[in-house]
Amino acid sequence: MAQRFGGLFSPDSRSGDSGRLPVIETRHRLQGRPKWVTIAASPFLLSAFFQEPAGMVMNLAGFGLIAAGMWMTGEGLVAEAPMSAAAPPAARRSRVSCSAG
């Protein structure tokens, strides 16, 4: 008779575990940098309220674009961290010299 497999990572395991692989939390080494770029753009936000309406809109739009770009950059770094942690090191060029002569 055939016997059904039911290991630790099987979806039908009865051990109370959901059968999902464990999540490894990794952090990209540059993940904190977008926060500092957003802070550096804060003069746009602060000076917006001391201008004419057109200048206010331009300063708020400038800060919003920078903040949105840095948010997307941060999310990209979060998504890249597990892939770069699991990637094998890059291959190196061989040291064998081929000289015609």
Instruction: For the chain, 101 residues long, give each residue's pLDDT as a single digit of tens.
Output: 667 666 766 666 555 555 555 666 778 888 889 999 999 999 999 999 999 999 999 999 999 999 999 999 999 998 888 887 776 667 677 777 666 65
Closest CA relative to residue 20, chosen from 35, 33, 7: 7
Q: How far is CA 29 from the centre of its chain?
A: 10
Burial of 33 (0-12, 13-18, 19+ CB in 10 A): middle
Task: Give this prediction's pTM.
Answer: 0.61
Distance between alpha carbon 14 and the CA centroid of its chain, in Å?
A: 35
Closest CA to 58 of 68, 67, 69, 47: 47
Predicted pLDDT at 14: 57
